[in-house]
Chain A
Amino acid sequence: MLSAPRLAEEASGIGALGIDPWSLLAYLVTFGLLVALLYTLAYKRILGVLDARSGRIRDSLEEADRVRREAQEQQEAMQRTLLEGREEGQRVLAEAREAAERYREQQATQARAEAAQLIDRAREEIRQERDAALEQVRSEFASLAVSAAERIIHRSLDPDAHRDLIDEVLAEGDARAGRN
């Protein structure tokens, strides 16, 4: 049965507490040994592991911070590059547009110049054609005039000898034509 032993307490007062120098010494030695053994066997190791782990966690956090910073810097650099690329692209596009515009203007100017040249050339050709036609008409007219005069005067005229006369007639003819 559960029961505490019933013992007669021989000592009284403070003596009843059972203070014993040898027991006291035994507890002191026991506790001292326990401290020494726990320190050697356990505390050093456990605190060492806790220190190592906290150091590792600190290192990992610092590493994570460093990686995050680097990633952020890389992202910023990438965004800067992207922005620069976009700006460069826009600049190139603008330059291309400007070049195209310039080229178009140049081509238009050139086309206009060529057209003007063509027109001038055509005019020149027309003028030459007209002059040639006029020359031919004049020649034909001279021949006709000579033939007509021969018929009128019944004699043959020397075209070279009467060149002055023919030119005079033609000039009169031109003068008449100009009046007309």
Chain B
Amino acid sequence: MNASRVLSEAEGTSAGGHALMTLTDVHAYIGRSHILNGVSFDVTAGQVTTIVGRNGVGKTSTLRSILGLMRRTGAIRLDGRDLAGLETHEIARLGVGYVPEDRDVFHGLTIAENLRLAERRGTAPDYDRVFELFPELKTRAGQRAGTLSGGQQQMLSLGRALLNENRLLLIDEPTKGLAPRLVREVVDTLARVASSASILLVEQSLAAARRLSDTVVVLSEGRVATRGPAAEILADEASMRRHLGVGES
């Protein structure tokens, strides 16, 4: 057992389950700007860990650092394996699914092609699960993703990540910019997915975060301000106002 694991468990942040992913003193950079200033936390297997914080504190950068999409230092371990030096596609193949902030579906490709692209060699794609969660992806298979609504694109982006049996899902602001009805729908779906997956979520909506999270990590200026069980952290209204700026949403 390595030092970081000992440390994080000694601090007692992870309740139940083992630490699926451990971030230890992660620093990340964009050009000359220092974006993450030593971020450390665990993602517990089988749980939803949610990162909250104001715009620009490094939430998206944390996910991108995990995927090796940013220049970073520090240790990031998945099931004990250090991801340092691995390239993005290698990290993804270890079983990391990514649903980016702007959905990033491929606009010029059809839904079917978007999904086909996500198939990984060596593992059988689980189309049944995807079509059960999002029947529309089947009925609109031939439609270009660029012509889909925001909600539909979000479903496609989620479906793309769920096509494979991933160990960890990185989901970035899945409800951003969606109509309230769609927000409910997406949150419901995520709740279903969460019952059988480990998720590291970035979420601005406190309501959604409350509904989905087991553990919450609050980021502030590139550092972890506080972390702990979701019920506890999200209930502290003063702290939430301080760290999120806005109150309820």
Task: Say whether A and B bind each other.
Answer: no
**Chain A contact residues, CB within 8 Å of chain B:** none
**Chain B contact residues, CB within 8 Å of chain A:** none
